[in-house]
Chain A
Amino acid sequence: MAIFEQMFEYSDLEPTALTGADGVVAHEGIPIEFFYKGRAFHVHSLLTKWKETNPWWKQVGSSQGLPEVEEKIFWRVEAAPVGTVNTFEIEFNEATKTWQVRPTSRGK
């Protein structure tokens, strides 16, 4: 479910992507990169998303009038630290029917 690869390339991103307070980078509201325990992670796929609202009835009493309805969005994602996902080239030789693997850069 590699949705993101379908959607856009990281290198194409403009610097206008938002940075959240906890170090989350989002594009059009969808989180794509974040920092966790000092490491940078890239989000690779979106598993699910859901929304919840606050239990306003518990907040009655802290201020006058009706408490505001506050929404939270939750994302469940697969992510891996930057740099830990590598690009490889895998070669298959039709003549000898053998495989060969070597690391490579993304670009080409």
Chain B
Amino acid sequence: MGNNQFTHLQVASGYSFKYGTSQPHQLVERAAQYGMSALALTDRNGMPGAIRFSKACEEFGITPILGVNLSFIQKRYRVTLLAQKGKLSSLYRLLSAVNMDNKENVLTLDLLKRFSCYSRDVLVMHGPESALANAIIARKNNEALSIFNSTKELFADQVIECVSQLARSESKYSTTNAARLFGFAQSNSIDALLTNAVRMLNPSDAPVADVLDASRKLVLISDKTIDRVNAEAYLKSASDMQALADEIAVAAGARDGRALLRTTQDWATRAGLSPRQDVGIGGIHLPEPIVLGAANHEQLASQLQQRCESQLANKYRANLIQTATSRLAEELATIRHLGFESYFLTVTNIAQSAKAKGIRVAARGSGAGSIVCYLLGISGVEPLSKGLLMERFCSVLRNSLPDIDIDVESARRLEIYDDVFSAYGDDDWSRPNNQSRCATVSMVETYRARSAIRDVGSALGITPTEIDLLAKNLPHIRSKNIGRAVETIPELKRLNLNTPMITAAIALATKLDGLPRHLAMHPCAIALSDLQLQDFAPIEQNPGGYPMLQFDKDDVEDIGLLKLDVLGVRMQSAISYTLAEIARTEEKSVDIDTIPFDDKATFDLVKSTRTLGLFQVESPGQRELVGKFAPDSFNDLIIGISLFRPGPVKGDMISPFLETRQGFQTRPFIHADLEEILKETEGVVVFHEQVIKIISTVTGCSLAEADEKRRDLGSREGQQEVCDWFYSLGLARGYPQKVVDRVWQILRDFASFGFCKAHAAAFALPTYQSGWLKTHYTAAFIAGLLTHDPGMYPKRLIVDEARQWGIAIAPVDVNESDSTYRVERTTELTQEPYVAPNTKSSGQTLSLPDARGYAIRMSLADVRGISIQEVENIIAGRPYLDLADFVYRANVSAPTTEALVNIGAFDKLNGVSKTGINRRDLYIHLAELQKVTTKAKQVSAAQLTFELKPTSVEKLGLPDVTAEEQLQNELDTLGTEVTSHVLAPYVEFLNSIGVKKSAQLIQERSGASVLVVGVKVALQTPPIRTGQRVMFLTIDDGFGCNDLTFFQDSQAQYAHVIRSSTLILARGVVRKTGPRGISLRATGAWDLNEAFNRWLAKAN
């Protein structure tokens, strides 16, 4: 050799959790700077950094070498395995076998023998931590030899790894010990090589290493606990390593270190990998045709075609079939070109098997733009009528796999996982050749400001209170930004952060930025592949119970696996529950996926802004928006969802849209060719699809190319390139300069704010569906909301909302209530349902739900402190004759029974209103019963029935529970009022000072100053255009919600009230913003109780 080359074969990055101090690409970059031609990554216990490392190597022109350092035979001894060129799959599979066998990652002799078909392809280095080295140092040469020989046949090759970190002679990492190992190797004709057991990039990283060690071992940094003696474990240059080789060799009696260096280079050559061939970067792996029931690829393609075509007649009316057919042909051609048939069919099968179990499935994302997805039933949105594009989702110009996410009922999400694993997995990990084609995906948790400060603080011995104070006041920022945060955030400035200890801690925490801490399972991603899954990714057992790739989402994309996100969405559970309730109570089966999209009543509900419970449009900001622009169609919903995001808000896209829509300004005309594209959004560019179509129309390029250009607009260099290209083509095609200028301005300004219409359409679908259900089956829908709690509002508000539509609230009853909220019929008289008053500006009455005659029965599950078992017991023991019967038979704890008495769960049973017995009587009776029962448990059960007959309830003549106490009990026990609204005690006061009900505000003039009242429901500070802080307060008064906006001027005086009070009296100026849009600019806020007490005092 002799050309001054050295390759580091033992290198730990930050993916050796809480051990390595640098990122893989930093190590690669340094090796490149040194002029090294190859570098190894041999993290401890796993290989999660492998893909990132290999990509960095490719970028810097270095050959990657991959390996893993793990426990061998016994936990306390470690060796390093290296993959041979062309045989990385064997290393991965061996590592997976170890991971799936035991949590401590020990490669036992038994595992080695069972999986020798893999280990025989793998190289092993016995370094200072190995049993072999231990025996040599202890001068037990015979034992050393026998250790070496015992595993000779089980590996491709073995080598002794000499390391000197210039530690003192007694240490494992001294030159003396390295020389001993080298000497032994020489005497026994065994190969020996040199590494530096690297864990740092620079010597100055030493304190970081110490903090990581201390944090891993949960100790304080001190002389006793520190692992390090010096800072030599860094990536040294070739000449430094050559000098070390000489020192070690000479100390062992040889002339120089040339033999060591030569062997090191030999092994580096044997272990050099190709990022593309070996590591699999840039590859694509989809489930094979045979898994999907086709003999070969041809058959698979025709299966896809046939399944799509068979649905054309179902889903398209005669007038659209022609267009649909040709669109389908285009998409199938694209899919064929890319070879992605398996992708679509796999996702379809997963969705269909879920639906077959009755689980609701809805695709989200750009997949909604594909007609193939629509015909296969993956997406419920029809793409042609909405101008959605396949190219946005999947195009021949982008040969990475498209991304499909599916929303499913949150409660049943794991059933889908189980399904996928039983169809595509193989749970026998005890033998080679596991046939798994699926696994979950990992997610690397990294150090951020709070976690960094905590670990550093503990390691340095800063008191827990100080650490807490600092950590809690740090926002969720990157730890490298701590320094700046300390200088700018007022809460932090107040703390005394200038002590040397704290400044040192902050400096250290900053250095921890972005270092991996832990490998967790991604909450919703599943990866699928062909049988080569485990050839290109190692697997480990995750505590969640599913086999997990050690790679994360980005890595999975780099090696081309099919990644599916299965998101649990509570709204889908709520919809599913609603449908079940409808079936139960109306004996009608509603197919929510086939309802017409033009139901006027549904849009009336949306226009009324009474959208609580409607997925995506229930926030105060959204309610204001729909109030302003009064959506009339499904497409309008899509536009509304796309507009209400920080981008369009900041970019001032909403006002021009609304003003044109409401007729206050005319739509700007740019060019006839663009009219069709911009018509639906009144000339404002809202959707990615519009950007794509505009680019394609003006330049004449294909839609696929236009999408590429759209993506390029995202970077500054990209913008410049696209600009030049756009101008040259646009002008060449004859568009006037002014037009090209104007269009370019629009593209440049708005391309980054646009939203994918397919995404929005996918969101709009459950919005519309929930709206339709709320309109036509209000009680069942609200029962679903209460049971699954999917939205942003507390239950008491949903209960209020039910009353608005005339629904009665049936209290908790031990004989009637279930574990969920149930719909009942009732003859109870309820309040008149909300009727949106006719306003001059809207000019029309809206038809809104009238759900009188229905009641929602409160659920047992929401009783505070009740356990699932108790709920089941109560239901199992029904019917109960009276309180005594319940106490004896229901098997429910005393506190729960008391709570039930307090909220009136026994009222009906014991005939409370009829017989003049009141709750206090019941309460006393319960106490007596409990005494008797306790006594009974002390006596034999057989005697119970004869001697301990329960007393009957006596009318004791005590005053009944007051309305206030009743209310308080309900709030405490159920978290919501049932019998009366929490504002009920203040009604007289409120009427006397002229407080307006929320439902009446729409009748007020613009500019009028009104008083409103309510329970605080939400307080938000969303971003607005000018950058000033605005506070949105939502309060509920039992008749609806009042949304108050506090601008800068009113915040100072009233901020403390709106932050701390629950019952708020507020004053504001009415502003009409649209047909039903009401907004109140707040001019005052007071705590209701205080105001009430002052009024009382004055009255007396």
Contact = CB atoms under 8 A, between A and B. Distances in A.
A50 B228 contact: no
Interface stretch (A9-17, A36-44, A66-74, A85-93): A66-74
A35 interface: no
A38 B231 CA distance: 35
B168 A66 contact: no
Interface in B209-258: 210, 221-223, 226, 228-232, 247, 250-251
B175 interface: yes
Given A57-B222, A60-B460, A67 B504 contact: yes
Interface stretch (B200-208, B418-426, B554-562): B200-208
B976 to A, nearest CB: 53
Q: Which of B174, B228, B230, B231 has the most CB of A within 10 A?
A: B230
A63 B412 CA distance: 57
B230 A62 contact: no
B169 A50 contact: yes
Contacts of A48: 169, 174-176, 251
Interface in B155-180: 165-169, 174-176
B808 interface: no
B176 to A, nearest CB: 6
A51 to B, nearest CB: 4
A66 B456 CA distance: 12
Contact of B207 (A3, A56, A74): A56
A50 B504 contact: no
Contacts of A22: none
A107 interface: no
B168 A60 contact: no
B206 A56 contact: yes
B174 A50 contact: yes
Contacts of B230: 50-53, 71
B363 to A, nearest CB: 50
Contact of B175 (A3, A49, A62, A67): A49
A67 B221 CA distance: 15
B175 A57 contact: no
B503 interface: yes
A64 B503 contact: yes
A83 interface: no
B460 A65 contact: no
A60 B504 contact: yes
A62 B226 CA distance: 21
A62 B175 CA distance: 34
Contacts of B222: 57
B176 A66 contact: no
A73 B206 CA distance: 16
Contact of B500 (A49, A53, A62): A62
Contact of B232 (A51, A56, A61, A68): A51
B501 interface: yes
A63 B174 CA distance: 33
Contacts of B507: 65-66
Nearest to B462: A60
B508 interface: yes
Contacts of B498: 64
A20 interface: no
Contacts of B504: 60-61, 64-67
Interface string A78-100: 00000000000000000000000
Contacts of B228: 53
Given A48-B176, A56-B206, A57-B460, A69 B503 contact: no
Nearest to B510: A66
A69 B511 CA distance: 14
Nearest to A57: B221
Given A57-B222, A57-B460, A71-B203, A52 B229 contact: yes
Contacts of A63: 500
Given A49-B247, A53-B229, A66 B223 contact: no
Q: Which of A3, A51, A60, A74 has the most CB of B within 10 A?
A: A60
B206 A50 contact: no
Contacts of A103: none
A82 to B, nearest CB: 25
A52 B231 CA distance: 7
A28 to B, nearest CB: 10
Contacts of A61: 500-501, 504
A53 B226 CA distance: 12
Contacts of A68: 204
A56 to B, nearest CB: 6
B508 A53 contact: no
B460 A50 contact: no
A49 B207 CA distance: 23
A67 B210 CA distance: 13
Interface residues of A, number: 23
A63 to B, nearest CB: 6
Q: Which of B166, B174, B223, B226 has the most CB of A within 10 A?
A: B166
A66 B502 CA distance: 10
Given A49-B247, A71-B203, A60 B500 contact: yes
Contacts of A56: 206-207, 210
Given A60-B500, A65-B507, A71-B203, A53 B460 contact: no
A60 B210 CA distance: 14
Contacts of A66: 207, 504, 507-508
Contacts of A53: 203, 206, 228-231
A50 B222 CA distance: 21
Q: Which of B226, B501, B508 has the most CB of A within 10 A?
A: B508
Contacts of B167: 50-51
Contact of B204 (A51, A64, A69, A73): A69
A100 B229 CA distance: 52
A57 B210 contact: yes
Interface in B139-197: 165-169, 174-176
A48 B498 CA distance: 44
Contacts of A65: 500, 503-504, 507
Interface string B495-530: 000101101100110000000000000000000000
Contacts of B210: 56-57
Nearest to B505: A60
A3 B250 contact: yes
A51 B167 CA distance: 6
A60 B230 CA distance: 18
Contacts of A67: 504
A68 B203 CA distance: 10
A55 to B, nearest CB: 7
Nearest to A55: B223
A99 to B, nearest CB: 30
B207 A69 contact: yes
Nearest to A3: B250
Nearest to B459: A57
A69 B232 CA distance: 12
Contacts of B169: 48, 50
B206 A69 contact: yes
B497 to A, nearest CB: 11
B166 A51 contact: yes
A69 B247 contact: no
A48 B251 CA distance: 8
Contacts of A51: 165-167, 229-232
A62 to B, nearest CB: 7
5 contacts: A50-B169, A51-B165, A60-B501, A61-B501, A71-B230
Interface of B: 165-169, 174-176, 203-204, 206-207, 210, 221-223, 226, 228-232, 247, 250-251, 460, 498, 500-501, 503-504, 507-508
Interface of A: 3, 48-53, 55-57, 60-69, 71, 73-74
Report, nearest first, the 5 A-B pairs whose CB atoms are least far apart.
A66-B507, A51-B230, A51-B166, A60-B504, A57-B221
Given A51-B232, A53-B228, A60-B501, 19 more contacts: A48-B169, A50-B169, A51-B229, A51-B230, A53-B206, A53-B230, A57-B210, A57-B221, A61-B504, A64-B500, A64-B503, A64-B504, A65-B500, A66-B207, A67-B504, A69-B204, A69-B206, A71-B230, A73-B166
